[in-house]
Amino acid sequence: MKLSQLIARGAAVVAAVATIACSSEQPKEEGDNIPTTPINEMAYSPEATTFELWAPTADSVVVRLYDGDTLAEEVAMTAAEDGLWRAQVEGDKRGMYYAFQVTIDGKALKETAGIFARALDTNGNRGAIIDLERTNPEDWNEDCAPSIPATETVIYEMHYRDMTAHASAGVAHPGKYLGMAERGTRSTEGLATGLDHLVELGVTHIHLLPTADFGSIDESRPTDQYNWGYEPKNYNAPEGTYATRVDDPEARIRELKTLVKAMHDAGLCVVLDVVYNHTTATENCGFELTVPGYFYRMREDGTFADGSGCGNETASEKPMMRKYMVESLEYWVKEYHIDGFRFDLMAIHDIETMNLIRERLEALNPNILLYGEGWAAATPLYDEDKLAFKRYTYRMPGIAAFSDDIRNALRGTLDLSEGGFIFGVEGNKEALKFGIVGGVEHPEVDHTEEAWCAAPTQHISYITCHDDHNLRDRLEHLAPEATEAERLKMAKLGHFGVFTSQGIPFIFCGEEMYRTKLGEKNTYNLPDKYNAIDWSLKSTYNDLVEYVKGLIALRKAHPAFSLGTAEAVRNHLTFIENDNAAAVGFVLHDLEGIDTAESIVVLMNGERESVVFDIPAGTYKWVADGDAIFVKGIGRYDAPHGKIEVAPCSGVILIAQ
């Protein structure tokens, strides 16, 4: 079935979601008791603090106030409409902590900070009573993100600690929010590090690994541990690990806002990696400590479904979970000025919820960037055709998915059994072409998988991310006999494939300077020895850094590399026939009104010998080869007979004169 037919089949679903999205009221199912207004579990004023908790199955609920670790007051909450319990405590309680305790069928559950806590104590077991206005850095109300449409987006994925923990980063606050907010930081060799490096590189969006509070690290001794943070505990408050004062609930909020503002001031947008598909251990999570069994998908025997591979999977299709996800994301946009979200294991969430999220967030920011992993770790316990799998991306306009098609085609599959196109391996040509057109239907692409994007901006083009081996370690494992110079050419060709594709390009932190994780595949909890970026690599491999910078600059200079619509891709991108199994070429043509160039020729040779391509006869400006990229041109190339020889393992870009 063609994508156009699939889109028509899904149109009714999208239209129905759009109707729901226009209302603040969430859809209800029989038996659900859902508040129609946003829930605010703790609302502070100097005169009084009010509390509310959604616990429709509770017999009773109390809220306890703590002065430090000392219980100061216990207040019985009163049942209200729509499953809410409410209480009000008179007086100025700022600086105190609170916890709810729910009793069901005569059994008191463990205390919890609730599910909407916005400020926390150390390790997030209790909420903190704060005045959010006091967490705003100077000029926060004037903070303004750059307006960057999807067609101009270049994503850089990073972990706070990876970027700043190594002594060579030269930051005053290594591993912290404030460390990434610093300007003017330099390596021992005098080259820009941290935030200045990101600006210098030319990327537009900074993808921050999980930032909401997670349960993997004891925040009272954060420097002793490392974790990516894919174990969410409290979704609406920042993780304390990255704060300079873990015992100050306001500090972590203020410091994260300081980082966001610093990035906005530097011309960068901020994307948060969010993990709504599963939680930390259920016995420690507010979901299970307020309404047991509701927020998760449960098997008939009462055990937790595990499509996440992490012990549980959440149930986005349930009205309160859907409402929770939408309001949580809206809160991050409103309170922290976040510009986009990456959804971990997005296929566990249902399509209706994802489309509702898009509608609600676009109302706050028309340029909101939304993308995620179009797969699950195991089979989710829900109807497959209702879930946000990659193959249904066309049913979620404005939401993108990671393309394992172009990833695997370029570098090889996850199991390291065989390399891909950049290794000269046959059998990857059509998958690479599919990635080049941005995952949309194209008459010259004969990929085994149906086109899954309605627009190329739904296709995240990448070669590595935080998961799996990074590029250098993969190259060293699969090409041990190659010289380092040869492996660097392969790395350049891989980046070349990503940045010349029609999708949204994505790069993992440190790949531009040939970082290594010492051969480790999964470094989610390994120490800085494996994860921290040694900034001396930027000097050692500055040629690669400059190559990636050149690719980004070239993409920005030529809008033809990001045409934006499937129709434009089909009209303006034509492949060049070539019999070699690891050689691909294409022409971007008829670009009047799109680009300053008349046409652009892009050639990729993954073979270990030179390949001759047939190209349109004419005179060209040579802007890229396997070694260097110059937006203004390396030199001139005359092709009166329409032929060009491309060196082994390299890419060439020619612009018609």
Answer whether residue 345 is part of any domain: no
| Radius of gyration from C-alpha coordinates of the chain | 26
pLDDT (average), residues 542-551: 98
What local confidence, expressed as pLDDT, does residue 32 receive?
A: 62
What is the DSSP pairing of strand 611-614 with strand 643-646? antiparallel
pLDDT (average), residues 40-54: 97
Answer whether residue 430 is part of any domain: no
> What's the CATH number where 584 sits?
2.60.40.1180
Q: How many CA atoms lie within 13 A of 532 on its CB side?
A: 20
What local confidence, expressed as pLDDT, does residue 28 receive?
A: 40
Q: Using 50, 70 and 90 to split pLDDT, how confident is the model at 19?
A: very low
What local confidence, expressed as pLDDT, does residue 448 receive?
A: 81
DSSP letter at 371 equals E
Q: Using 50, 70 and 90 to split pLDDT, how confident is the model at 395?
A: very high
- Within a 10 A sphere around the Cβ of 276, how many other Cβ atoms? 25
524 DSSP β-pair partners: none
Count of domains for the chain:
2
Give 515 or 2, the one with higher predicted confidence: 515
Instruction: Give the tokens for residue 479.
Output: 């090409």
| DSSP assignment string, 29-78 | -TT----SS---SEEE-SSEEEEEEE-TT-SEEEEEEEETTEEEEEEE-E
Answer whether residue 104 is part of any domain: yes
Last residue of a domain, one of 135, 150, 172: 135
What local confidence, expressed as pLDDT, does residue 599 receive?
A: 97
pLDDT (average), residues 583-609: 97
Instruction: Give the tokens for residue 69.
Output: 């670790």
Checking if the pLDDT of 27 tops 70, the result is no
Give 421 or 1, the one with higher predicted confidence: 421
> What's the CATH number where 124 sits?
2.60.40.10
- Check if the beta carbon of residue 77 is closer than 8 Å to that of residue 112: no
pLDDT (average), residues 124-132: 97
Answer whether residue 588 is part of any domain: yes
CA distance 269 to 255: 17
CA distance 255 to 247: 13
What local confidence, expressed as pLDDT, does residue 81 receive?
A: 82
- Residue in 480, 552, 549 with CA at minimum distance from that of residue 513: 549
Name the active-site residue from 313, 373, 404, 405. 373
CA dihedral 560, 561, 562, 568 (to 10 degrees): 50
Q: Using 50, 70 and 90 to split pLDDT, how confident is the model at 15?
A: very low
Burial code of 81-92, b = ≥16 C-beta within 10 A, e = fewer? eebbbebebeee
What local confidence, expressed as pLDDT, does residue 196 receive?
A: 98
3-class SS at 532? Answer: coil
Rounded to two decimals, the pTM is 0.94
- Count Cβ atoms within 10 A of the Cβ of residue 521 and give its class: 0-12 exposed, 13-18 middle, 19 or more buried: middle
- Check if the beta carbon of residue 452 is closer than 8 Å to that of residue 439: yes
Checking if the pLDDT of 10 tops 80, the result is no
CA distance 216 to 524: 10
| DSSP assignment string, 561-582 | GG--SHHHHHHHEEEEP---TT
Last residue of a domain, one of 118, 135, 152: 135
Checking if the pLDDT of 434 tops 70, the result is yes
Answer whether residue 281 is part of any domain: no
Name the active-site residue from 255, 273, 313, 344. 344
- Residue in 246, 240, 156 with CA at minimum distance from that of residue 197: 156
Place of tokens 């129609």: 36
Checking if the pLDDT of 13 tops 80, the result is no
How distant, in Å, are the alpha carbons of 111, 232, 256 from that of 124?
Answer: 11, 11, 17
Instruction: Give the tokens for residue 319.
Output: 């009205």
What local confidence, expressed as pLDDT, does residue 449 receive?
A: 82
Q: At what angle do helices 404-411 and 429-436 cross, to 10 degrees?
A: 130
Chain segment 302-354, per-residue pLDDT in tens: 999 999 999 999 999 999 999 999 999 999 999 999 999 999 999 999 999 99
CA distance 505 to 555: 10
Answer whether residue 647 is part of any domain: yes
- Check if the beta carbon of residue 367 is closer than 8 Å to that of residue 338: no
The pLDDT > 70 percentage for the chain reads: 95
What local confidence, expressed as pLDDT, does residue 26 receive?
A: 38
Instruction: Give the tokens for residue 562.
Output: 């990001």
Place of tokens 């612009």: 655
- Residue in 521, 533, 537 with CA at minimum distance from that of residue 471: 521
Residue 467 among the catalytic residues: no
Answer whether residue 488 is part of any domain: no
Answer whether residue 215 is part of any domain: no
CA distance 430 to 434: 6
610: containing domain: 574-656
Place of tokens 């010289």: 483
CA distance 228 to 247: 21
The pLDDT mean for the chain works out to 94
Chain segment 447-486, per-residue pLDDT in tens: 888 899 999 999 999 999 999 999 999 999 999 999 999 9
Chain segment 274-289, per-residue pLDDT in tens: 999 999 999 999 999 9
Checking if the pLDDT of 29 tops 70, the result is no
Q: Using 50, 70 and 90 to split pLDDT, how confident is the model at 11?
A: very low
Burial code of 526-565, b = ≥16 C-beta within 10 A, e = fewer? eeeeebbbbbebbeebeebbebbbbbbbbbebbbbbbbbb
Last residue of a domain, one of 135, 157, 184: 135
Residue 81 among the catalytic residues: no
